[in-house]
Structure 1
Amino acid sequence: MNYIKRFIKTSGVFFIGNTLTKLISFFLLPLYTFKIAPESYGYYDLTISLINLLIPIIFFQAWDGVFRFTFEYEKKSEKYMVISNGITIQFFGLLLYIISFFVLTNSLKYDIDYKYLIFIYGILYAFQYFYNCVARSFSKNALLVVTGLLNSIISIVLNVTLISIYDMGIEALYISYIIGTLIQLLILEKRLMIINNFKISIISFRLMKELVVFALPLCVVTLSYWLLSGLTRLAISNELGIYENGLYGVTNRLSSIVVLVVNIFQFAWYEMSYSMWKDDNKKDYYKYSLNYILKVILYIGSVALILIKIIFPYLIAEAYQGALIIIPITFIGALINSYVSFASTLFLAEKESNKLLMPTLVSAIVNILGLILFTKNFELIGATFSLTLAFFC
């Protein structure tokens, strides 16, 4: 029963600090859609999708290994040993990212819009993941909530100011994230003292190898996952145009609200499942939690679809009204994927991350074939249906 109480308590903390604030940003959609053209929003959505693909792979998803392995130690000094080895991998990934980014962008025959903003965004994205996982390793959920809340408020205020007053476009979205996340990271470093507790003497190639071996299958999963959501964006942009990708990006913003609510339980579930890895009754907890989250997803999804249908014309600018037709398909895909993400945590808790490879690869193949078959004939509906079908598989 202690696990259940902890699960509920942690869920509440993440709701206040993470989801509630991002639900507020949901109401910025009118500002985005009235002030930013679908083509520009489509470009922004595509660049973020590429960052979501490349950053976890280049940085070896060191944060996932750190988060899992720290739960095997009780003493702070032992936890910092894992963290120090993880941050070593992180800085190696940073070097690899800098080299890869400038070699790739300089080899292209055309200029990349907002090149340096995208570059900085990628670095902060990687370190935000790492610092968040370290905070959760020490069960510093209140700290994570406060800094996340501050980050979101700063981003929201900057977005409103830069877009509505200074008439900026998508550069405002990059700038607000960069400033908000940088402030969050500085506060987290001050409280967690990751750099201060770093010692070369505790660097262990054996432990680094274990962290990388644990995370490598997850990197492949990330790549395969990108062949789902990321490749869909790329296919829409190439086959149908950036305008259509802007429509798709808005529907993802809307469906992400449902995902955020589910993520409350998923964040709490990570901690609980990692903590009970030696518990004899853990399988009963697994079963109970999976049944519970399925009910939550079905209830939330049903209500959300009705509400979105009602408020869509008032919330979204007329230029984006074509997105309404794909919302049901996108929402169903997001709900299925939320359940899959929740269930996948079981394999991480058991240190069986390699077992996530096959399902994700099969799904990626289904999506590739679906995009080829459906996009040309059914356009945006075909592309989103292909992704939902892949998530279901």
Structure 2
Amino acid sequence: MNKYKGLLVNIGLFALNALATKLMAFILMPLYTLYLTSGEFGIMDMSTVVINLVFPVFTVSIASGVLRFIIDDKQHTKFYATEGLLVIFVSCLVVLICLPFLNLSIFGGLGQYKWLFLISYAFSSLQSYLAEVARAVDQIKLISVSAIFSSLVMAGSAFITIAWLKMGLVGYFISFILGNVLAFVIFMFAGKQWRLLSIRSLFENRELRKELYRYSLPLAPNTIGWYISTAFSRFLITGILGVQSSGLYAAASRIPNMLNALQQVFSLAWQVSSFQEYKKKSVEHFYGVIWSFYLVGMSLGSSVFILLSNWLASILMQKNFYNAWTLIPILVFAFFVDSINNFQGVIFQAKMKTKSLMMTTLIGAVVCVTTTALTLSSMGIIGACFGVVLGNITILIIRGKAVTQLMAVNWHYPMMVVLMAFIVAQVVMVVFVTTIPYIVPCALCVVQIVISVLFLSPYIKSFMASGE
């Protein structure tokens, strides 16, 4: 199977995973917004934010390192898999010690559910780590199977505990834990990953530990920086505007996250292909072809979601949550810029330049947090949206220059700017200049499609002529 077909097959398998997890989350969204108050929804979202925030820090992003090194060094798979799992267990102990901090006001009342949060973190981190191991050892199908069954269990138990038993947030935590427990069992036993664990290997291959952590450690602050630029604003919103406003912002973020789910499908498959191909002679052509299709796909997807944002909000955002729909187009534009950053970030990882990756992300995070802090009081929730946008653009400018020195790929920056201009124009028309007929931004989208097709035509011909 050649590199293009391999990438497409992995994208398809990861798409099943996203369909089972991300799509299920959106299906459950009307349930959450119907039975939970905006404050409870804010706490629920805060638990997700905190888990995603502390996971890379307390685990020093060991999962990413394990994926990268197992692909390159199959001979020492047991060492990498065991070392990573040991770090996950240590991170659970660190979370246990830090539980009292959840009582702080910036966490919006999450401290009331601290023990449920601890269990949620433990099984969420275990299943996330084992999924990375599955990617590394080519158990891609198992990831989809795990996602489907764990999502079904999570959804079923959520309806029972929240809608039927009226357990509120406790019901949410129970359903979240049950889904992750099942995923853990599937990976460990159905996938027989327990066979990859060996305490003996930790002592026999100690010399490998230094390089593993040298690669992984910079990814921890890098992930934190990325997460700050996309989600840390919720802490500021909670502290300045209250947990109800945080809940509205979280609800508005769920719709752009549908696009993010599609991007993550590609990213999961792209990481594997990128790590496998980066040493080969034809790597620049391979990266260039994939980048061209990716850029067009992300831009058109963003435009469509902007045009449909009001309609999607009317379906997925019940009661007073609907009033936050005007945030969606701005967050979609922020997603588009971030999707470019993510693609280029994989190249930094393939080239083992994780320190440079970390620096670009942290600079963008500082811009995001500063902008949000300065504008939140005067502009309200929309200030947080602008903070995310400016942070992502900062990363794009800095990283875009650096990545050209790492790999001789034609990044088509003029075309990128054109597509970005189309998206910005649509955001302005949909959100800020509502007197313009809706047909105008729709017409812009049609023009964008035509330009994109013309841009891709030589790549399609080249792709077909290569026989790949």
TM over 0.5: yes
What amino acid is the match of 2:300? Y
What amino acid is the match of 2:122? I
In the alignment, does 2:36 pair up with 1:9? Answer: no
1:380/1:105 CA distance change after superposition, 3 Å: closer
Q: Which residue of 2 aligns with 1:370?
A: 371
Measured in 1, the distance between the counterparts of 2:14 and 2:327 equals 30
Q: Which residue of 2 aligns with 1:200?
A: 199
Contact 2:309–2:329 (CA under 8 A) maintained in structure 1: no
Q: Deviations over 1:150-190 (max 9, x none)?
A: 11111111112222111222222221111011011111101
Measured in 1, the distance between the counterparts of 2:362 and 2:344 equals 17
Measured in 1, the distance between the counterparts of 2:134 and 2:344 equals 23
Unaligned runs of 5+ residues in structure 2 are: 395-468
Q: Which residue of 1 aligns with 2:301?
A: 300
Measured in 1, the distance between the counterparts of 2:30 and 2:110 equals 30
In the alignment, does 2:181 pair up with 1:182? Answer: yes
Contact 1:60–1:93 (CA under 8 A) maintained in structure 2: no
How far 1:107 moved relative to its partner?
Answer: 9.7
Indicate which of 82, 93, 96 corresponds to 1:95. Answer: 93
Helix, strand or coil at the partner of 1:279 = coil
What amino acid is the match of 2:182? I
1:4/1:29 CA distance change after superposition, 3 Å: same
Measured in 2, the distance between the counterparts of 1:272 and 1:111 equals 39
Contact 2:20–2:147 (CA under 8 A) maintained in structure 1: no
Q: Deviations over 1:270-329 (max 9, x none)?
A: 110011132111122222222221111111111122223223223321221221121111
Helix, strand or coil at the partner of 1:278 = coil
Measured in 2, the distance between the counterparts of 1:74 and 1:365 equals 38
Contact 1:86–1:208 (CA under 8 A) maintained in structure 2: no
Give runs of aligned pairs for residues 144-155 of structure 1, distance below 5 A.
144-155=143-154
1:111/1:192 CA distance change after superposition, 3 Å: closer
**TM-score, normalised by the number of residues in structure 1:** 0.93
Measured in 2, the distance between the counterparts of 1:173 and 1:338 equals 30
Contact 2:277–2:283 (CA under 8 A) maintained in structure 1: yes
1:32/1:349 CA distance change after superposition, 3 Å: same
1:264/1:111 CA distance change after superposition, 3 Å: closer
Measured in 1, the distance between the counterparts of 2:103 and 2:297 equals 47
**In angstroms, what is the RMSD of aligned CA positions?**
2.1
Measured in 1, the distance between the counterparts of 2:248 and 2:362 equals 27
What amino acid is the match of 1:199? S
Q: Which residue of 2 aligns with 1:326?
A: 327
Contact 2:46–2:110 (CA under 8 A) maintained in structure 1: no
Give runs of aligned pairs for residues 42-81 of structure 1, distance below 5 A.
42-75=42-75, 78-81=76-79
**TM-score, normalised by the number of residues in structure 2:** 0.79
Measured in 2, the distance between the counterparts of 1:40 and 1:11 equals 35
Give runs of aligned pairs for residues 6-45 of structure 1, distance below 5 A.
6-19=6-19, 21-45=21-45
Measured in 2, the distance between the counterparts of 1:52 and 1:20 equals 19
Contact 1:124–1:181 (CA under 8 A) maintained in structure 2: yes
Contact 2:222–2:357 (CA under 8 A) maintained in structure 1: yes
Measured in 1, the distance between the counterparts of 2:123 and 2:356 equals 30
Contact 2:44–2:169 (CA under 8 A) maintained in structure 1: yes
1:150/1:383 CA distance change after superposition, 3 Å: same
Contact 1:247–1:320 (CA under 8 A) maintained in structure 2: yes
How far 1:105 moved relative to its partner?
Answer: 5.4
Measured in 1, the distance between the counterparts of 2:221 and 2:313 equals 37
1:187/1:315 CA distance change after superposition, 3 Å: closer
Q: Which residue of 2 aligns with 1:217?
A: 218
Measured in 1, the distance between the counterparts of 2:367 and 2:110 equals 34
Contact 1:371–1:386 (CA under 8 A) maintained in structure 2: yes
Measured in 1, the distance between the counterparts of 2:338 and 2:104 equals 36
In the alignment, does 2:265 pair up with 1:267? Answer: no
Helix, strand or coil at the partner of 1:112 = helix
Measured in 2, the distance between the counterparts of 1:100 and 1:20 equals 32
Measured in 2, the distance between the counterparts of 1:17 and 1:55 equals 20
Unaligned runs of 5+ residues in structure 1 are: none
1:157/1:227 CA distance change after superposition, 3 Å: same
Q: Which residue of 2 aligns with 1:315?
A: 316
Q: Which residue of 2 aligns with 1:171?
A: 170
Contact 2:103–2:111 (CA under 8 A) maintained in structure 1: no
Measured in 1, the distance between the counterparts of 2:298 and 2:39 equals 32
Q: Which residue of 2 aligns with 1:141?
A: 140
Q: Deviations over 1:33-92 (max 9, x none)?
A: 1211111111221222122111211111111111000011345xx322321222233333
How far 1:220 moved relative to its partner?
Answer: 1.1
What amino acid is the match of 1:138? V
Q: Which has the larger radius of gyration?
A: 2
Contact 1:147–1:184 (CA under 8 A) maintained in structure 2: yes
1:368/1:25 CA distance change after superposition, 3 Å: closer
Q: Which residue of 2 aligns with 1:120?
A: 119
